[in-house]
Amino acid sequence: MDLAQRYPSLHVSRHPLVAHKLSILRDVGTDTKKFRELVRELTWLLGYEAMADLDTRPRRVETPLEAIEGAEVDPRVGLVPVLRAGLGMVDAMLELIPTAQVWHIGLYRDERTLKPVEYYNKLPDAATVQVCLILDPMLATGGSSAATVDILKAWGAARIKQISLIAAPEGVATLSGQHPDVDIHVAAVDRELNERGYIVPGLGDAGDRQFGTFAGPSSEPGHEPGDETAEVVRRLQRDLARD
Ligand code: PRP
Ligand code: URA
């Protein structure tokens, strides 16, 4: 069955510009500067689609010719970039919705267990926004996004959406299994995770490609997987096949 039919919360962009830009983003020959530009442009396009159902309230406006009833976005919107790769998506979203608050969440994925580890969270006690848009280019195992949603729900966020550039089917299954109420907006859903938990064909490491932090082969997809990591991926793939 088609993934979008199986997971009603999944929205895969059909826009030709998204497909065009994503192909250049994936290209191993795309340098860091161009990569950052494309992350920004793709976020703009996906963010536009993800906010298509925001409520508006009437706003009286005087044009130079007459008064009309215009509109303004009603809910308070919070952008939640997941450090560090989500940082590159913030500026584009702020261009679209300059009144948004930005709340950073720091999570990294333990390379061995693929479990998210939280290292930064300065959310105040109670939610200050009604709609949260989680920004993270990669939805791989889904562990980081499901953990971010847990944090935001505990905070009191009423409505949450995830905006990612590329998802793996395993990540979509995890996130929509744990949080079916969270809309997932992506440019593409790729074939699968490899034994290190990287999305294939994917684009490699989104953080490293944006920030130029290539530390050598051990940090790159395709390097020797640990047994434990490969087992985590196999378990996710079994769960997906069983669904
Ligand atoms: C990447 C990515 C996501 C996470 C996705 O971050 O930006 O946050 O992995 O993987 P998951 O769906 O399996 O949890 P990473 O841990 O590499 O940290 P970084 O952004 O600091 O490089
Ligand atoms: N994080 C990335 O940056 N890329 C992947 O393929 C998976 C997780």
Which helix (H) or strand (E) segment is 2 a member of? none
Phi, psi of 66 (to 5 degrees): -165, 170
Ligand 1 environment, Cβ below 6 A: 82-85, 107-109, 114, 116, 136-144, 171, 197, 206-207
Give the separation between CA 151 and CA 170, rounded to whole angstroms. 21
User: Can you give the pLDDT at residue 2?
Assistant: 82
Cβ–ligand 2 distance for 233 under 6 Å, the answer: no
Q: Which ligand is nearest to the CA of 143?
A: 1
Residues of the chain with pLDDT under 50: none
CA of 144 to the centre of ligand 1 (A): 7
Give the separation between CA 185 and CA 53, rounded to whole angstroms. 13
Q: Which ligand is nearest to the CA of 86?
A: 1
User: Can you give the pLDDT at residue 110?
Assistant: 94
CA of 59 to the centre of ligand 1 (A): 40
CA of 181 to the centre of ligand 2 (A): 24
Q: Of all atoms in ligand 1, which is nearest to the CA of residue 114? A: 13
Which class for 106: exposed (0-12), middle (13-18), buried (19 or more C-beta within 10 A)?
A: middle
Which helix (H) or strand (E) segment is 120 a member of? strand 116-121
Cβ–ligand 2 distance for 138 under 6 Å, the answer: yes
User: Can you give the pLDDT at residue 24?
Assistant: 98
Q: Which residues contact 70 (CB under 8 A, 6 or more apart)?
A: 58, 59, 60, 61
- Per residue in 112-128, pLDDT (tens digit) is 999 999 999 999 999 99
Q: Which residues contact 206 (CB under 8 A, 6 or more apart)?
A: 39, 85, 137, 138, 165
